[in-house]
Amino acid sequence: MWNEPTKDGKFKFIERYKDPYTEKIKRKSTIMSSDSAQAWKKAQKILDKKISEALNERPNTRTSFHKVYKEWYKIHEKTLRPSSKSSYQSVSKLILDYIDEEVIISNIDAHYLQTFLSSLEYSHQYCLHLKSLLNLMFQYALKMNYITQNPLLNVTIHRKPKTLEEINKINQKYLERKEAELLIKELYRRPSSYRTGRLSEFLFLTGARIGEAVILTENDFDFENKTVHISGTIDYTNGYKKARKGPPKTTKSNRIIDLTDRTILLVKKSIEENKLNQLSKENYPKTDYIFTSKNGVPMQVNSFNLTLKRAGKRVHLDNKDLSSHIFRHTHVSLLAEKNIPLKAIMDRVGHEDADTTNRIYTHVTSKMKTSIVIQLEESGL
* Catalytic annotation, residues: 209, 242, 325, 328, 351, 361
DSSP secondary structure string for all residues of 232-255: -EEE-TT-GGG-EEE--SSGGGSE
| Dist CA 47 CA 26 (whole Å) | 12
Neighbouring residues of 43: CB distance < 8 A, sequence distance ≥ 6: 1, 3, 13, 30, 32
Q: Three-state SS string across 172-205, please?
A: HHCCCHHHHHHHHHHHHHCCCCHHHHHHHHHHHH
Task: Give the chain's length.
Answer: 381
CA-CA distances (angstroms) from residue 275 to 64, 270, 287?
Answer: 58, 9, 9
| Dist CA 64 CA 57 (whole Å) | 15
CB 180 within 8 A of CB 327: yes
Q: Parallel, antiparallel, or unpaired for β 2-5 and 25-32?
A: unpaired
Indicate the helix (H) or strand (E) that contains 27.
Answer: strand 25-32
Collapsed DSSP state (helix, strand, coil) of residue 104: strand
Neighbouring residues of 312: CB distance < 8 A, sequence distance ≥ 6: 183, 318, 320, 322
Query: 269-277 — which CB contacts under 8 Å span 24+ positions?
Result: 269/198, 270/198, 271/218
Closest CA to 330 of 169, 214, 180: 180
Collapsed DSSP state (helix, strand, coil) of residue 125: helix
CA-CA distances (angstroms) from residue 51 to 1, 10, 21, 126, 139?
Answer: 12, 22, 14, 44, 29
- Is 27 exposed, middle or buried (CB count within 10 Å of its CB: 0-12, 13-18, 19+)? exposed
